[in-house]
Structure 1
């Protein structure tokens, strides 16, 4: 797959945010993984202190998009003893609003997945092909669309400034940012639903997508990016602060250019990514999921990875430790952290042995808007 722009053009694209000096890019380190682990923990502690001083966004609202099956062996890497081959995860979008120091309003959509086009991801396309339609209707639930949720929140798509994903697995952005050519599968040249939004992405992920490794190919839709305009992207290197209480932290491992959303709220600091699919994956000693606590004790592991990709497993583990060091304890149950999986483990009667011990379900911060209830 080839992007329609060269490496030099990517380098020339405008970036966003203020670089975080206390969190240098871990993927640039030549240290062995064990040293990187200690460094990640220490630097996360330092960043916690400075990040809390940046303030907080005005509001955060959670919007459910879809609940779907996902292999247990991926979501609870090596730890689960559940008999169910699949568990359920719920994909959610976070809508974050703040004001710049000059009063300008900002809107960030975190994980605004186009669920319909996401079905063409090779892995999920193959899974759907093998699944009877009656069973699919039983195990897949669509809760709402990105544009539908925004309409209920009273947010115009033209007022959205940033789109951000922890990584671009399964994502097809053509309807969100438009294309420069007719798309045969869509029957049109899509106009950008978000005409002023920039996609915040790590340069490392754009570079990886330009020449995918076989381990990566089942999870990306590279053809969907062939005609997307390069100026739709705002590539960053490492970690940045976007606004008061809103940061992007580079957390490589799940993919080379993985990144996490970090937000400061009335209940403290939250971290969101898909490096893990449950809050208990960061404190597995408190998990009641079959096998998880015992596995963590036996192998002296302090985190359970979401490991559908294994390009850089040690880096993913180190990133989870960084995330758990950043996050505050849950006020509902202090055994668990305010780690909000962008795809959260969800109980389902069809999946015995995969009912989570604890779920967040939503992040809510600031006044409730337009009567929209969090999921």
Structure 2
């Protein structure tokens, strides 16, 4: 696979919004992973207070894209007791809108996956080639597309300012932000004009740098050729934590991948976090889980979270990142035992995965009035 042609250092470095300093020094905390974990826990209270004071966005709405199979040994790591080699996860897109102090409206799409092109990810392409057709039809269900959801919401693609993913596993954004040269698999004769002409893809610089020279453990999950000819003026490399707008922030949460980031939202029900560091809210409180094995694993090894771990780029960091997410969010108003952690890929009950039925699911984040989509 060919590394992307763009030079990461040349990408736009001016962060949108305002840098967040609460967790900025985490990499320099003296001591080992345990010291960093304690440090993060101590800083979480300060972040909660500061972030809540920024206000709330105008609107958060949730739009399902697809369900797909995912290895149980990755999604629930070593904890579950189930014969099912695969469980089922659901990917959803969030639409977030807010107004800046000067009155300008901003629109952010979180997890706007191009499902059709995402299937070319090496791991999932190999999995699909081996899976029986009836199983693919039963498990891999598509609920809608990014353009379709936006059209239904009455949002012109030109209104979208930011495209954000918690990380770039499986993601191919060529149709969203355009490519500067023809590519044989997508447009053999002409460059591709962006569907979102005014949008910036926001990604952590560390992940973009890693994609230029992938480790063998990373290669099954990325499509680096899809980033080779991207329009660099549509890619915004950021470094660390950023407040984008009232009640809207991105926190660097390395571990699942080194450049992982978490969307944090302040809503009418309190603070939420969304990433793929875990695939179920109960993975942050495994002793409340009825999934066979999770509670026992947590008690046996005194581990308070269950990771979603496939590439294992930095397991101790991912554990700390998930504790950070757990420490900053509020409890669910529908069941206070579970945190307002919204997995970007959420565990979903399915007959093909016995023993992996979630105890609790969020399914959506809803904030503001639906008319906020158009107003």
The question of a shared fold, defined as TM-score above 0.5 by the shorter chain, is answered with yes
Report the CA distance between 1:136 and its aligned residue: 0.8
Report the CA distance between 1:310 and its aligned residue: 0.5
Q: Could you tell me whether the CA contact under 8 Å between 1:25 and 1:238 is conserved in 2?
A: no
Report the CA distance between 1:30 and its aligned residue: 5.7
1:2 aligned residue: 3
Report the CA distance between 1:13 and its aligned residue: 3.9
- The normalised TM-score by structure 2 is 0.96
2:369 aligned residue: 367
Q: Once the two structures are superposed, what CA deviation does each residue of 1:167-222 show, in whole Å capped at 9, x if it has no partner?
A: 00000000000000112111353210001000111111111111111111100000
Report the CA distance between 1:269 and its aligned residue: 0.2
1:281 aligned residue: 283
Report the CA distance between 1:322 and its aligned residue: 0.2
Is the aligned partner of 1:146 residue 2:152? no
Give distance in 2, aligned partners of 1:4 and 1:25: 32
1:136 aligned residue: 136
2:81 aligned residue: 81
Q: Could you tell me whether the CA contact under 8 Å between 1:277 and 1:343 is conserved in 2?
A: yes
1:41 aligned residue: 41
SS in 2 for 1:256: coil
Report the CA distance between 1:371 and its aligned residue: 10
Q: Once the two structures are superposed, what CA deviation does each residue of 1:81-123 show, in whole Å capped at 9, x if it has no partner?
A: 0111110000000000000000000000000000000000000
Give distance in 2, aligned partners of 1:91 and 1:20: 28
Report the CA distance between 1:26 and its aligned residue: 3.2
1:292 aligned residue: 294
Matches within 5 A, 1:297-316: 297-316=299-318
Give distance in 1, aligned partners of 2:156 and 2:372: 14
Is the aligned partner of 1:162 residue 2:180? no
Equivalent pairs counted in the alignment come to 371
SS in 1 for 2:351: coil
Is the aligned partner of 1:225 residue 2:211? no
Uncovered stretches (5+) of structure 2, i.e. residues with no partner? none
2:119 aligned residue: 119
Runs of 4+ off more than 6 Å = none
Q: Could you tell me whether the CA contact under 8 Å between 2:155 and 2:373 is conserved in 1?
A: no
Matches within 5 A, 1:188-337: 188=188, 189-337=191-339
Give distance in 2, aligned partners of 1:119 and 1:324: 31
Point out the more displaced range, 160-169 or 30-39.
Answer: 30-39
Report the CA distance between 1:7 and its aligned residue: 4.2
SS in 2 for 1:66: strand
Give distance in 2, aligned partners of 1:7 and 1:98: 29
Report the CA distance between 1:284 and its aligned residue: 0.3
Q: Could you tell me whether the CA contact under 8 Å between 1:154 and 1:370 is conserved in 2?
A: no
Give distance in 2, aligned partners of 1:134 and 1:332: 36
Q: Could you tell me whether the CA contact under 8 Å between 1:25 and 1:239 is conserved in 2?
A: no
Give distance in 2, aligned partners of 1:146 and 1:290: 35
1:173 aligned residue: 173
Report the CA distance between 1:28 and its aligned residue: 5.4
Uncovered stretches (5+) of structure 1, i.e. residues with no partner? none
SS in 2 for 1:231: helix
- The normalised TM-score by structure 1 is 0.96
SS in 1 for 2:370: coil
